[in-house]
Structure 1
Amino acid sequence: MKFLDLFAGIGGFHLGMEQAGHQCVGWIEWDKFARQSYQAIHDVEGIWNASDIRTVRANELPQADCWCFGFPCQDISVAGKQKGFTAGKRSSLFFTVTGLIRDLEEKNRPSYLLIENVKNLLSINRGFDFLKLQIELDEIGYDCEWDVLDSAEVVPQHRERIFIVGHLRGRRTQQVFPIIQSDRQAISRSDATNTLTTRYGEAQGAGSYIAEGQPQKIKSAPKIIVNPHGFNKGGVKSIVPTVTAGSFKDNTFVLKVREATKSGHDVATIGDSINFAQPNSKTRRGRVGHGVANTITAGMEQATLTDDLKIRKLTPLECWRLQGFPDWAFNRAKQAGLSDSQLYKQAGNSVTVPVIKVIAEKMKIS
């Protein structure tokens, strides 16, 4: 199939769709840094593109079988102001997309819509916003199905997102959900251990490792020094309030991490992730990811406990790996001059590539 990549970011949809055998015929992205990465990563020479979807006219768009888009979630996410996707300035861009479809003759409309957003879309404004989305899709001729998928099925990152597939009525499209594999509803990846490890990678881009750095042999239990502004640099001895104490239990080093639970803490061991967002919060739970990362965000507020018993922030490369991007894609973006802060942001704003691939593999037109 041919597809359009809207709100393209760094091209998570592009890469996943391409891996499933589909062809990109156009893309739209307004952020200049994301465009810089997109052009460095993907072969887009000669492919139609635009920077602002609000200025695009329907007759300018190349014809495509599928439109892919994860419209902005800032007005929907639990981390945002939750104005809703109809009242919020950014998330209401969903209706800009459907407006373009309304302006197309039915024969030129895409057979599929592949839409991604935060899980909160299901419940914000007591579910009325999601109902409005379904009504809008119905009015422009699309039946829809949806499911909430966790990226942890394919990469070591808990990231629940809703995926909506629209089917243009009258076209012979194939149902996508549920995704079943190995006699269970799942999306799995044969080349991944699904754990956040601190092993050095055996092969570049393989799913058998995520964290960087050569492990060191442990001769004794060193004092854990944590610097929240750089982590283990320059001998700074400030302690993140989230981390309370470290000790050995059954010959395994454990680190107590403050959480709003009955015990008051969770325990992190080597290879676990630690979320240090809002360190003084008395209501936060789930700070420790046991073998996996929490949801990668644009701000990147996660660390890992390493083999040499240090706490360090996840690197931009690790965050891209946790989103399923191969190392060559990250390297191209890095070599294009992107800063670490932009690379963190781009990983947090992306979709998880293997999730897109497994959905795209089921999208066919008879």
Structure 2
Amino acid sequence: MRFIDMFAGIGGFHLGMEQAGHQCVGWVEWDKFARQSYQAIHNVKGVWNASDIRTVRANELPRADCWCFGFPCQDISVAGKQKGFTAGKRSSLFFTVTGLIRDLEEEDRPSYLLIENVKNLLSINRGFDFLKLQIELDEIGYDVEWSVLDSAEVIPQHRERIFIVGHLRGRRTRKVFPIISKGQQPDNDVKQVGNLTPGGSFGGNPQVGRVYGTDGIAPTLSTMQGGGQEPKVMVREATKKGFEIAKIGDTINFSQPNSKTRRGRVGHGIANTMTTTNTMATLTSDLRIRKLTPLECWRLQGFPDWAFERAKQAGLSDSQLYKQAGNSVTVPVIKAIADRMDLQ
């Protein structure tokens, strides 16, 4: 299928869709640093693109079978001000996309919509915002299905996101969800965490945090010591106990070190949800706490090392590379969904 990548970031949708055999025919991204990475990573020479979705006209868009977009979540996320889906200036850009669809003749509309956002979209404003989203998609001719997927099924990072698939009525599109976790055991020399089965199912992360190769997941995220007393440190945490135990290879989120309410500061053999700032660390074998590198953060989003190296060589600073990893979708999750999408 042909797809357009909107709110493209560094191209997590692009890479996952491409790995499933689909072709990018257009992309939209306003952030100049994300555009810099996107163009370095992906083969987009001669491919239609725009920098601001608000200035795009429907008749400019190339014909595509699927539009992919993870519209801005700052007004929805529990980490933001939660102005809501329609009141927030950034998250309301969803309606800019649906407005473009309204301006297209039915035969020119995409058969699929693949939409991603934070889990809180389901519950913000007591669920009314999610209802408005469904009503809007219904009005422009799309039946919807959705599922909350955790990246921990395929990589060592807990990252729950809602994925919404819109099906244009009258087109023969394939149902996507549920995507079933099979919990397959990979071979010892497999250079990734988990497998994706040909049917598009999650192939589980049976040993969360285990390392299968240095070009896969960062070794410091997965060490499990056997025999004897394992070294450990106490990390202050806003729980009744007041602390959590971190062992070698665990991750520590120190984004709010003085919080009286925040929980989940230690990830046991797995990272908590990454953010756009460099606030994730790991406990090393010499009992030092060090920050994850930008490369490790990109790996936690399922990007291959060559993609990171292309962005790095394009002149991106470490702060931008951290931000881009935190803003991205998880590539193997997109591929698992994309494997299930075709026109029948």
User: Is 1:188 the equivalent of 2:196?
Assistant: no
Aligned partner of residue 126 in structure 2, secondary structure? helix
Partner Cα separation in structure 2 for residue 92 and residue 187 of structure 1: 31
Q: How many residues align?
A: 326
Q: Partner amino acid for 1:258? A: R
Change in CA separation of 1:183 and 1:32 when aligned onto 2, cut-off 3 Å: closer
Deviation at 1:310, TM superposition (A): 1.0
Change in CA separation of 1:261 and 1:186 when aligned onto 2, cut-off 3 Å: farther
TM-score (norm 2): 0.91
Q: Which residue number corresponds to residue 30 of structure 1?
A: 30
TM-score (norm 1): 0.85
CA offset digits 1:274-300 (Å, max 9, x no partner): 011111111111100000011111012
Partner Cα separation in structure 2 for residue 338 and residue 212 of structure 1: 24
Is this contact kept in 2: 1:72–1:90, CA < 8 A? Answer: yes
**Runs of 4+ with deviation above 2 angstroms:** 181-186, 201-204
Deviation at 1:188, TM superposition (A): 2.3
CA offset digits 1:316-358 (Å, max 9, x no partner): 0000000000000000000000000000000000000000000
CA offset digits 1:44-98 (Å, max 9, x no partner): 0010000000000000000000000000000000111100110000000000000
CA offset digits 1:242-299 (Å, max 9, x no partner): xxxxxxx952111111122232111110000001111111111110000001111101
Is this contact kept in 2: 1:302–1:314, CA < 8 A? Answer: yes
User: Is 1:321 the equivalent of 2:299?
Assistant: yes
Calculate percent identity across the aligned residue pairs: 78
Mapping for residues 253-272 of structure 1, pairs under 5 Å: 253-272=231-250
Partner Cα separation in structure 1 for residue 87 and residue 261 of structure 2: 29
Partner Cα separation in structure 2 for residue 343 and residue 358 of structure 1: 25
Deviation at 1:108, TM superposition (A): 0.3
Q: Partner amino acid for 1:114? A: L
Deviation at 1:177, TM superposition (A): 0.5
Change in CA separation of 1:343 and 1:211 when aligned onto 2, cut-off 3 Å: farther
Q: Which residue number corresponds to residue 290 of structure 1?
A: 268
Partner Cα separation in structure 1 for residue 219 and residue 228 of structure 2: 25
Is this contact kept in 2: 1:75–1:82, CA < 8 A? Answer: yes
Partner Cα separation in structure 2 for residue 288 and residue 34 of structure 1: 30
Gaps of 5+ in 2: 185-199
Task: Determine which of 338, 347, 350 is the counterpart of 2:316.
Answer: 338
Q: Which residue number corresponds to residue 11 of structure 2?
A: 11
Gaps of 5+ in 1: 216-248
Change in CA separation of 1:81 and 1:260 when aligned onto 2, cut-off 3 Å: same
Aligned partner of residue 133 in structure 2, secondary structure? helix
Partner Cα separation in structure 2 for residue 187 and residue 257 of structure 1: 33
User: Is 1:21 the equivalent of 2:35?
Assistant: no
Q: Partner amino acid for 1:111? A: S
Q: Partner amino acid for 2:2? A: K
Deviation at 1:308, TM superposition (A): 2.1
Mapping for residues 163-178 of structure 1, pairs under 5 Å: 163-178=163-178
Is this contact kept in 1: 2:220–2:282, CA < 8 A? Answer: no
Q: Which residue number corresponds to residue 259 of structure 2?
A: 281
Structure with greater Cα Rg: 1
User: Is 1:300 the equivalent of 2:278?
Assistant: yes
Q: Which residue number corresponds to residue 70 of structure 2?
A: 70
